[in-house]
């Protein structure tokens, strides 16, 4: 028995189920049920939003998506950076903390130089990151601002918005390679990226950076943040049902390896930071290992790793589940992007 397999065995995790069953339970008990697709959607684009972007190597546009849900309109902006050189480009849908292009978490020109396009949006332009359920999309879904049971939380709403950005990408099949779409995010938005891909198979890749508790990290036996800590501070990220598992992680009928497993047989990459103990890199790597059988059952290689936890600077990228450990703290760094680029290129 290897070191990491022994650690995984000690967690006594619930067995994997079909993707449909796992997603049903994860939405009912943790994130809430995502809103339905809009009845109508239209896009208004302002081209060359940033003049001479990347010295002419890319066009930067601002797009406003207007969606109709239950007869009500809701709009939010997002941004595209697409190389000007003819061709079809793999692309990232980046769920970001700001609307800046480029951003401290998004080196746009470097992504272009590596042969990628990137579509991004600020999560707060969809709905606020707080308990106000009358703001933005939340107000359309909950006119009285109140939720119960398995009603969707903010993570699910941000995931829904990322899927609308993918709707736009489908209208740009002339320049975007729709077979190589990656959804990515950091921290709470890394959780969002995984949920986005799990509920939308148009994404060939999902990347979670430092998402930790309720994201890419196994909950049972986790160091740092746990269900009580995250739900007490951020109950609005989740459905109300999730609060029942505070101090009762071992009684959960699920764990976070289900979220990764739900993306099989597509590709998932998890990024950790060595000093981000709140997220717990070891628990994130264990989630990759625990999800591996779901990919293997689909004929994929799953998670291919050594017999120990990853060393700083090490990456396990051979299988459909990738994992890397970067030196440093909680941050979506240039080094993380380069690892993500490496993983996508390796598998396309």
Catalytic positions are 187, 330
**What residue has token string 């050189």?**
85
Question: Whole-angstrom Cα distance, residue 82 to residue 88?
Answer: 10
β-strands 205-209, 117-122: how paired? unpaired
Q: Choose among 27, 88, 101, 43: nearest CA to 253.
A: 27
Question: Whole-angstrom Cα distance, residue 303 to residue 185?
Answer: 21
Under 8 Å between Cβ of 136 and 126: yes
Structure letter (DSSP) for residue 303: B
Question: Whole-angstrom Cα distance, residue 261 to residue 284?
Answer: 13
Dihedral sign (CA 105, 284, 213, 200): positive
Under 8 Å between Cβ of 46 and 62: yes
Helix (H) or strand (E) holding 112: helix 108-113
Length of the chain: 348
Angle at 156 between CA 237 and CA 287, to 5 degrees: 80
């Amino acid at each position: 028995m290897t070191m990491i397999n022994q650690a995984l065995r000690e967690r006594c995790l619930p067995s994997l189920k079909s993707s449909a069953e796992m997603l049903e339970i994860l939405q009912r008990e943790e994130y809430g049920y995502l809103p339905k697709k809009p009845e109508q959607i239209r896009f208004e684009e302002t081209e060359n939003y940033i003049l001479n972007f990347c010295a002419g190597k890319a066009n930067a546009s601002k797009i406003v998506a207007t969606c109709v849900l239950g007869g009500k309109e809701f709009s939010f902006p997002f941004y595209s950076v697409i190389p000007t050189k003819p061709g079809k480009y793999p692309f990232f849908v980046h769920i970001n903390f700001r609307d800046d292009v480029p951003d401290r978490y998004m080196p746009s020109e470097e992504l272009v130089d590596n042969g990628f396009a990137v579509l991004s949006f600020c999560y707060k332009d969809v709905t606020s990151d707080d308990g106000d359920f009358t703001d933005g999309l939340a107000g359309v879904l909950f006119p009285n601002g109140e939720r119960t049971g398995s009603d969707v939380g903010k993570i699910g709403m941000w995931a829904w918005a990322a899927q609308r950005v993918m709707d736009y990408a489908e209208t740009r099949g002339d320049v975007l390679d729709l077979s190589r779409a990656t959804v990515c995010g950091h921290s709470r938005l890394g959780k969002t990226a995984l949920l986005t891909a799990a509920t939308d198979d148009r994404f060939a890749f999902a990347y979670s950076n430092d998402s930790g508790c309720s994201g890419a990290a196994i909950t049972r036996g986790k160091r740092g943040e746990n269900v009580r800590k995250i739900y007490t501070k951020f109950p609005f990220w989740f459905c109300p049902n999730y609060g029942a598992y505070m101090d009762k992680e071992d009684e959960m009928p699920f764990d976070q390896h289900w979220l990764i497993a739900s993306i099989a047989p597509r590709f998932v990459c998890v990024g950790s930071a060595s000093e981000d103990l709140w997220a717990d890199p070891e628990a994130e790597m264990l989630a990759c290992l625990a999800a591996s059988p779901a990919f293997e059952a689909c004929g994929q290689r799953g998670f291919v790793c050594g017999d120990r936890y990853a060393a700083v600077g090490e990456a396990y990228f051979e299988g459909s589940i990738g994992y890397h450990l970067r030196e440093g703290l909680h941050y979506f760094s240039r080094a993380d992007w380069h690892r993500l680029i490496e993983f996508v290129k390796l598998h396309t």
